[in-house]
Structure 1
């Protein structure tokens, strides 16, 4: 089990919040620690948005609680009514994500208490705000996330897994259950890559030139993920139609193997080019031994010409070849994006290097 940066940040935020609240003699400093838990976010931008939204939610809960207690009292029925109003106002302001903190503030202020109510309410809100601000500072200063590195590593690992299984699955009878489990695991990795992409997209750059370079990288990463989905589709079809594929004539299998190998090599070549291990603009060796899109199209046409009736086996093979054609189109576009990225924007793209020792 790996302990991520967010776990450490949460612990640090709680400690800082309680210490600060204690230093200012805030009653019930533990409330600062509790509010810090709600405020820790995976990115600095989300932390900033959470800070704004939670301050707004706290003010709403504070004002409604003060109004109800001063005007009507703090009977449990009144607390319930105040909670309903708080929910409605937050929903109207499209701040539904912070409903919990708003309601917590409301209930903490409206609970039974002795002494000066206004002072009591002020200190309760102060404790919660200290927790929110502590979490924001921790997000800003401690362990800044490297989502680009995590994203590329996730994409790269997923690509390696898919290409390895395609090579194995197209040539031999694999363990069906084991391959199915790995396909499910790969699907989860693709979903995680989508999540990391969203987090990386949210991160804000300090300088404009970095923002422009990042926008270009976002396009490439999006196409990398999309290309992985196309290759995963080929793997799923090879797995599902394994028996049908091996029933096909040997020359058909050889042609498909060969074209798949060329596509997989091209995919690997593009990734090496992206991280700078292959010279930008360098293409795979030009020879007769290159990916032949027209050959795959001719195979499909041959099915139509050489069969008197539709064959389920042929139909399944047509879907496989269609997936290969789509995969090839995505690879061509991805390679064009990577070549353009390195050829025309060299000065802005120095941060593209990914160290081999960077970990997920």
Structure 2
């Protein structure tokens, strides 16, 4: 078990919130500590979270103070105010701020017997905790979604490459294959989540927004290519080994998949800037066309029995298509960035 950055930062945020509570002379640090447990996986989400929390907490505190003046502090009035606040948060599409807002409402209404100043102090405690969480997330190991996304792309490709190279030969042990496939599925799921964080990040400089849009387009295609490779694995497992005379096609399929795997790797190296911008390692389309014709002739002879291999061929061609699209996008982006750097 490892301690991740968010775990560490949550602990630091709570510690900072308690320190601020003591520095500001709050009666108890509990509310500040609770509010500090809101570390987000990106700066954009952290800022969005704090603005949502600020709006809903101010609104919740105002409703709580108004309810105290109108109805007094009773269990029923507290419950009704909580219902109203929940409905408002849902209406404003600020679901994530509901829990902390309810804590603020209950704390403010519970302090009615101790005077308005105490109620306001409790509201300030919540604000101090929110500020501590944002400050820690911004200053301590700030999230870098793009770097983390790139690392996960390479992790996913490493897992995919191993499985694809062994897909036709079926040389991996079943338990090893199962574990590697589960790892790949998990990594692709995390990659989708990481892309959403990367997508949420906002560039403050207008000059960088267009470049960022291009990077998002490439990143989306990176995921698509990896997913298509994973789909090819599924098709091979489902159809290839059940197809009649599959062994006759083993060498052709194996060579084609090997070429595409190498092609995929070279595209990633090019995106890292380790290869020349104009370098091209695209597999021969003639061999793909020849394979397509052979599979078509093979299907015509016995459509019902032999169409399983057509599914495998189609998955290979689909994977190749998305890899070529990825390289084209990568070349366009890299050339454009080189031109912008030269102009600067």
TM-score range, shorter chain: over 0.9
Q: Secondary structure at the match of 1:292?
A: helix
For the 8 Å contact 2:32–2:128, the answer to whether it is kept is yes
What is the match of residue 305 of structure 1?
300
d(CA) in 2 for partners of 1:263, 1:141: 42
Q: Secondary structure at the match of 2:304?
A: coil
Q: Secondary structure at the match of 2:166?
A: helix
d(CA) in 2 for partners of 1:284, 1:62: 62
Tell me how many residue pairs correspond in the alignment. Answer: 342
In the alignment, structure 1 residue 34 sits paired with structure 2 residue 31: no
What is the match of residue 357 of structure 1?
none
Choose from 206, 213, 226 the match for 1:228: 226
CA gap of 1:105–1:285, structure 2 versus 1, over 3 A, is: closer
TM-score in terms of structure 1 length: 0.89
Cα deviation digits, residues 164-184 of structure 1 (max 9, x gap): 211112124432343123212
For the 8 Å contact 2:240–2:308, the answer to whether it is kept is no
Cα deviation digits, residues 188-230 of structure 1 (max 9, x gap): 1101001111111112223233332222111111101100111
d(CA) in 1 for partners of 2:304, 2:238: 19
CA gap of 1:151–1:188, structure 2 versus 1, over 3 A, is: same
Cα deviation digits, residues 294-328 of structure 1 (max 9, x gap): 12321331123222x510xx222111111011111
The two structures, once aligned, show a CA RMSD in angstroms of: 2.1
In the alignment, structure 1 residue 346 sits paired with structure 2 residue 338: yes
d(CA) in 2 for partners of 1:215, 1:169: 35
Structure 2 stretches lacking a partner, 5+ long = none
d(CA) in 1 for partners of 2:339, 2:207: 9
d(CA) in 2 for partners of 1:274, 1:198: 20
Structure 1 stretches lacking a partner, 5+ long = 351-360
d(CA) in 2 for partners of 1:113, 1:70: 9
d(CA) in 1 for partners of 2:10, 2:216: 29
For the 8 Å contact 2:104–2:122, the answer to whether it is kept is yes
Choose from 265, 288, 291 the match for 1:268: 265
For the 8 Å contact 1:296–1:325, the answer to whether it is kept is no
For the 8 Å contact 1:216–1:341, the answer to whether it is kept is yes
Q: Which runs of 4+ in 1 moved over 6 A?
A: none
Matches within 5 A, 1:1-360: 1-37=1-37, 39-111=38-110, 114-115=113-114, 117-241=115-239, 243-244=241-242, 247-250=245-248, 252-284=249-281, 292-307=287-302, 310-311=304-305, 314-346=306-338
For the 8 Å contact 1:300–1:318, the answer to whether it is kept is yes
TM-score in terms of structure 2 length: 0.93
CA gap of 1:303–1:132, structure 2 versus 1, over 3 A, is: same
d(CA) in 1 for partners of 2:231, 2:256: 16
